[in-house]
Structure 1
Amino acid sequence: MTELVPTPNDCALPRIRAEFATFNEAIDYAARSAKGLNFHDMRGELERVYPFSEMRADAVQMAYRLIAAGAKKGDRVALIAETGPDFAALFCACTLAGIWPVPLPLPTTFGGKDSYIDQLSVQLSSADPLMLIYPPEIAEMAQAAADRQGCQGIAWDELARRPAPVVELPQADPEDICYLQYSSGSTRFPQGVAVTHRALLHNLYGHAASMNIGEGDRGISWLPWYHDMGLVGCFLSLIANQVSVDYLKTEHFARRPLAWLDLISRNKGNTLSYSPTFGYDICARRISSQSNVAERFDLSRWRLAGNGADMIRPDVMQNFVNAFAPAGFKASAFTPSYGLAEATLAVTVMPPGEGIRVELVEEERLSGGRRDLSRPARYRAIVNCGKPLPDMDVEIRGEKGEVKGDHQIGKVWCRGPSVMHSYFRNPEATDEALVDGWLDTGDMGYMADGYLFIVGRAKDMIIINGKNHWPQDIEWAVEQLPGFNHGDIAAFAIEMENGEEAPAVLVHCRVSDPEERVKLRDEIRDKVRAITGMNCVVELVPPRTLPRTSSGKLSRAKARKMYLEGEIEPYDLAA
Structure 2
Amino acid sequence: MTNGATPTLDTLPRRFSDFETVGEALDYAAMGVRGLNFHDARGTLVRAYPFAELRTDALANADRLIARGVVPGDRIALIAETGAEFAALFFGVIYAGAWPVPLPLPTSFGGREAYIDQLAVQLASSDPKMLFYPGEIAQMAGAAASAKGIEGIEWETFAASSAPRSTLPGAQPDDIAYLQYSSGSTRFPHGVAVTHRALLDNLAAHSHGMELIESDRCISWLPWYHDMGLVGCFLSPVANQVSTDYLKTEDFARRPLAWLDLISRNQGTTLSYSPTFGYDICARRMSSQTKASDRFDLSRWRIAGNGADMIRPDVMQSFVDAFAEAGFKASAFLPSYGLAEATLAVSIMPPGEGIVVELVEETQLSGCGAATDRPQRFRAIVNCGKPVRDMRVEIREEDGTPLPERAIGKVWASGTSIMEGYFRDPEATAACMVDGWLDTGDMGYLSDGYVYIVGRAKDMIIINGKNHWPQDIEWAVEQLPGFKAGDIAAFAITTPGGEETPAVLVQCRTSDNEERAKLRDAIREKVRAITGMNCVVELVPPRTLPRTSSGKLSRAKARNLYLSGEIQPYDIAA
TM-score normalised by L of structure 1: 0.99
Q: Distance in 2 between matches of 1:534 and 1:382?
A: 22
Q: Distance in 2 between matches of 1:338 and 1:306?
A: 10
Q: Secondary structure at the match of 1:517?
A: helix
Q: Distance in 1 between matches of 2:181 and 2:371?
A: 43
Tell me the CA shift for residue 532 of structure 1: 2.8
Compare 461-470 and 525-534 and name the one that shifted more: 525-534
Tell me the CA shift for residue 158 of structure 1: 0.7
**Cα deviation code 1:434-487 (max 9, x no counterpart):** 100000000000000000000001000000000100000100111111000111
What residue is the counterpart of 2:509 in the other structure? 510
Q: Distance in 1 between matches of 2:425 and 2:42?
A: 43
Q: Distance in 2 between matches of 1:173 and 1:566?
A: 50
| 2:379 corresponds to 1:387 | no
What residue is the counterpart of 1:221 in the other structure? 220
Tell me the CA shift for residue 511 of structure 1: 1.4
Q: Secondary structure at the match of 1:506?
A: strand
What residue is the counterpart of 2:148 in the other structure? 149
Q: Is the 8 A contact 2:219 2:272 kept in 1?
A: yes
Q: Is the 8 A contact 1:490 1:507 kept in 2?
A: yes
Q: Secondary structure at the match of 2:573?
A: coil
Q: Which runs of 4+ in 1 moved over 6 A?
A: none
What residue is the counterpart of 2:436 in the other structure? 437
Q: Distance in 2 between matches of 1:136 and 1:81?
A: 13
Percent identity of equivalent pairs: 72
Tell me the CA shift for residue 275 of structure 1: 0.3
| 2:56 corresponds to 1:57 | yes
Q: Distance in 2 between matches of 1:374 and 1:79?
A: 55
Q: Distance in 2 between matches of 1:495 and 1:380?
A: 27
What residue is the counterpart of 1:295 in the other structure? 294
Q: Secondary structure at the match of 1:490?
A: strand
Tell me the CA shift for residue 529 of structure 1: 1.2
Q: Distance in 2 between matches of 1:193 and 1:565?
A: 29
**Cα deviation code 1:189-248 (max 9, x no counterpart):** 000000000000000000100101120000000000000000000000000000000000
Q: Distance in 2 between matches of 1:290 and 1:72?
A: 59
**Cα deviation code 1:239-259 (max 9, x no counterpart):** 000000000000000000000
What residue is the counterpart of 2:542 in the other structure? 543
| 2:143 corresponds to 1:183 | no
Tell me the CA shift for residue 371 of structure 1: 2.1
Q: Secondary structure at the match of 1:493?
A: strand
Q: Distance in 2 between matches of 1:306 and 1:109?
A: 25
What residue is the counterpart of 2:11 in the other structure? 12
Q: Secondary structure at the match of 1:108?
A: coil
- What residue identity is the alignment partner of 2:467? N
What residue is the counterpart of 1:263 in the other structure? 262
Tell me the CA shift for residue 372 of structure 1: 2.1
Q: Is the 8 A contact 1:306 1:335 kept in 2?
A: yes
Q: Is the 8 A contact 2:109 2:543 kept in 1?
A: no
Q: Is the 8 A contact 2:219 2:246 kept in 1?
A: yes
Tell me the CA shift for residue 291 of structure 1: 2.2
Give 5+ residue unaligned stretches, structure 2.
none
Structure 2 counterparts to residues 291-440 of structure 1, below 5 A:
291-440=290-439
- What residue identity is the alignment partner of 1:416? G
What residue is the counterpart of 1:137 in the other structure? 136
Q: Is the 8 A contact 1:109 1:548 kept in 2?
A: no
RMSD (Å) for aligned C-alpha atoms: 0.9
Q: Is the 8 A contact 2:472 2:531 kept in 1?
A: no
Q: Distance in 2 between matches of 1:306 and 1:533?
A: 35
Tell me the CA shift for residue 569 of structure 1: 0.9
| 2:155 corresponds to 1:166 | no
**Cα deviation code 1:280-336 (max 9, x no counterpart):** 000000004332210100000000000000000000000000000000000000000
Q: Distance in 1 between matches of 2:287 and 2:413?
A: 40
- What residue identity is the alignment partner of 2:570? Y
- What residue identity is the alignment partner of 2:122? Q
Tell me the CA shift for residue 370 of structure 1: 1.7
**Cα deviation code 1:521-559 (max 9, x no counterpart):** 000001111233221100001111100000110000000
- What residue identity is the alignment partner of 1:473? D
Q: Is the 8 A contact 2:276 2:312 kept in 1?
A: yes
TM-score normalised by L of structure 2: 0.99
Q: Secondary structure at the match of 1:332?
A: helix
**Cα deviation code 1:6-49 (max 9, x no counterpart):** 11111100000001111111010000110000000000100100
Q: Is the 8 A contact 1:110 1:116 kept in 2?
A: no
Give 5+ residue unaligned stretches, structure 1.
none
